[in-house]
Amino acid sequence: MSGYDIHRGENPRIIFFFWIAMATTATLVLGLGWRQLIAAQKYEEIEKRQTERRVLKPGARGDIYDRKGNLLVGNRAHYSAVVYLDDLRREFREEYSKIIRAERAALKEAYQLTPLKEREDSQLTPDYNELQWVARQNVIQRYIDQINLITGRDDAVSTRTIIRHFNEQLLLPLPLVSDLKPDEYARLIEQVPVQSPIQIHTDTARYYPYGVAAAHTLGYVQKVNPDPDTIPNDGIKTYTFKSKIGKTGLERSFNDLLSGEIGAEIWRVDPLGFQDSLLDGKTPRQGENLITSIDIDLQMAAETALGERTGAAIALDVRTGEVLAIASHPSYDLNDLSPFIPRKTFGEINERGAWLNRTLQLSYPPGSTFKLLTSIAGMRHGTLTLQTEHDCQGVFRLGNRIFHCHARYGHGVVDEAAAIESSCNIFYYAEGLRMGIDVLSAEAKRFGLAERTGIEVPYETKRLVVPTKDWKRERVGSGWVPGDTVNTAIGQGFLLVTPLQMATFIASIARDETRTQPTLRALSYVEAQQVNHGGEPVGLTRKQRAELWEGMERVVGDGGTGRLVQIDGLRIAGKTGTADFRAHGKEVNLAWFVGFAPVENPQIAVAVMVEGTSSLDSYHGGSTAGPVAKDIFLEFIEHYPERAGFQIAR
């Protein structure tokens, strides 16, 4: 008789319980099966979300070089002392216990001193949450004090910073001290014990070996949180180190190229969110390098020649439109803006008006340099011939208005070449009137002076004015008068162009075309052979062009307005200009020089503009802007003697 035989009494109640037990077991088995086989993936995803964290680290930005391989923008080490809060958990607990004990004792004492009637139970309960933050702050501050002792700093951490870090960036290191100087970094390396939770974190910051050189063109970067689109949307909580994006200049235009590839780490975390083990990792990768067309020697020559003055200088490769030098003053040292822009530095640069890139962000009247365009327009339209002469007596009467020449007693009888050489206003007043504003404006537009150049630097101004009758009616609200035409003919009046436009203009004349597409990218040999500037031939006969160029060469001759630009052995064609301009709330001078060299085979085109900052400044194209251009030409001869037509010194 087996042990179960005793149940053979056929008690019907036991059958009832048997079926209940069977149903319950079946439910459990089915439930288990459903969860294990069907809903397993869902639970895996939930588990992953709860236990895994992703840390994204941006890659370093690529470097920027000049055309000869000199580093213009690189990355330097940026040191900070950090601590992973996970390493401090034991200290947090100990400090918290200590504080709690002290707080309870203090409350108890206060409670006992309180009269019986005023006693409340809550008086004996400390605010545990607040004390927890106090404990954490105390521990972290102790480490900062240790750093302060070694470095001589006086840094502190706020509870708010700690709370924010705990809530938003627990897996990332908490910066204790940022932007350590090399000696502070070295002291910490030597004096903080290897076993200390303090770690010396090395990041990158932008570094500019040439400081102020081409500051506006190269641009600077800003630290930002990464684009949310770059974060995988797989439910895993992601922490990100800040990345850098270009804010201005080439850093902005070529941001995609220069930005590094983001690296990632997947961490398993414990229930409190602290890191437990590294599951997967991918190393960040540095961005691509950019090779610019800038020649740092010419750039430094332009920067040095401009010196403390306000203005702009640009040098272009006549054939390809590559920018060899592009300087805007006042400038700023880009290193002062890295790793971040201090408020004081921002204010100081703002006060000097140095944020503005004068090569392309501001437009100015071109002054007498525009007479070259008036000449071309006249010759193409047939109003100006090789025989044309005007008698300059120093004044030009137009109705009841008198227009002056800069030579008080006049230049006498001048032809086109002589008018260019002496920059005679009277000649161009008369020629402007003869051809009319429609012809003049059309020619200026044909040379692209009403359009932005499209160079790879952002924020090129839209405020470019090549006036027409319609334009004046719309914008000024009055009709066009002959006085406007004569003013326009000598580059004054409503005309507004940028120095970069004038550089492309003079390069176009040098190539006998109407357009020059400037670029800051160094072109390969093949690209340089295939450059298409998008213009058309100027349309002058050989004799007309010779007359124009002769006048320009005479400008730099012994009797010309640009004689200070003369260089022995180098034939330079140029044009000076001096314009009146209203800036800084006052009338100031603008000094211009545009030119190219060598005349027999043009290689380099230069445009220089120097802006007066006071009504007392007496600036002239030949004496103020000319020497700046001369320094650029001299540097060109030194570094490209074969292109300048000189024998290579060996």
Helix or strand (DSSP H, E) at 326: strand 323-329
Count of Cβ atoms closer than 10 Å to residue 390 Cβ: 21
Taking the C-alpha atoms of 309, 314, 315 and 317 in order, what is their torsion angle to the nearest 10 degrees? 180
Residue 402: both structure tokens together = 């008198």
| Beta carbon nearer to other proteins, 48 or 153 | 153
| Beta carbon nearer to other proteins, 58 or 467 | 58
| Beta carbon nearer to other proteins, 75 or 422 | 75
Q: Are 356 and 460 in contact (CB under 8 A)?
A: no
DSSP letter string over 145-204?
A: HHHHHHH-------HHHHHHHHHH-TTSPEEEEEEE-HHHHHHHHHHS-TTSSEEEEEEE
Q: How far is the CB of 608 from other proteins (least distance, A)?
A: 35
Any bridge partners for residue 327, and if so which?
A: 313
Contact residues toward other proteins (CB under 8 A) are: 57, 59-60, 75, 77, 151-152, 182-183, 185-187, 189-191, 193-195, 200, 202-204, 260, 263, 283-286
| Beta carbon nearer to other proteins, 32 or 149 | 149
| Beta carbon nearer to other proteins, 3 or 193 | 193
Q: Are 71 and 63 in contact (CB under 8 A)?
A: yes
| Beta carbon nearer to other proteins, 183 or 470 | 183
| Beta carbon nearer to other proteins, 74 or 412 | 74
Q: How far is the CB of 186 from other proteins (least distance, A)?
A: 3
| Beta carbon nearer to other proteins, 191 or 601 | 191
Residue 340: both structure tokens together = 């971040």
Q: Are 397 and 495 in contact (CB under 8 A)?
A: no
Q: What are the angstrom distances between the C-alpha of 243 and each of 165, 222, 339, 512?
A: 18, 8, 12, 47
Q: How far is the CB of 468 from other proteins (least distance, A)?
A: 54
Q: What are the angstrom distances between the C-alpha of 265 and each of 52, 197, 278?
A: 10, 21, 7
CB-side exposure of 221: number of CA atoms within 13 Å?
Answer: 28
Q: How far is the CB of 444 from other proteins (least distance, A)?
A: 48
d(CA 64, CA 61): 9
Q: How far is the CB of 526 from other proteins (least distance, A)?
A: 29
Q: How far is the CB of 467 from other proteins (least distance, A)?
A: 52
Q: How far is the CB of 75 from other proteins (least distance, A)?
A: 6
Q: Are 282 and 54 in contact (CB under 8 A)?
A: no
Picking from 420, 309, 335, the residue whose alpha carbon sits closest to that of residue 370 is 420
Residue 193: both structure tokens together = 């014990």
Q: How far is the CB of 281 from other proteins (least distance, A)?
A: 8
Peptide bond into 330 cis (omega under 30): yes
| Beta carbon nearer to other proteins, 60 or 591 | 60
Please calculate the CA angle 618-326-646 and round it to the nearest 5 degrees. 95
d(CA 383, CA 433): 10
| Beta carbon nearer to other proteins, 187 or 452 | 187
Q: How far is the CB of 161 from other proteins (least distance, A)?
A: 25
Compute the radius of gyration of the chain from its Cα atoms: 38
Residue 26: both structure tokens together = 């079946």
Q: How far is the CB of 194 from other proteins (least distance, A)?
A: 5
| Beta carbon nearer to other proteins, 205 or 520 | 205
Q: How far is the CB of 91 from other proteins (least distance, A)?
A: 14
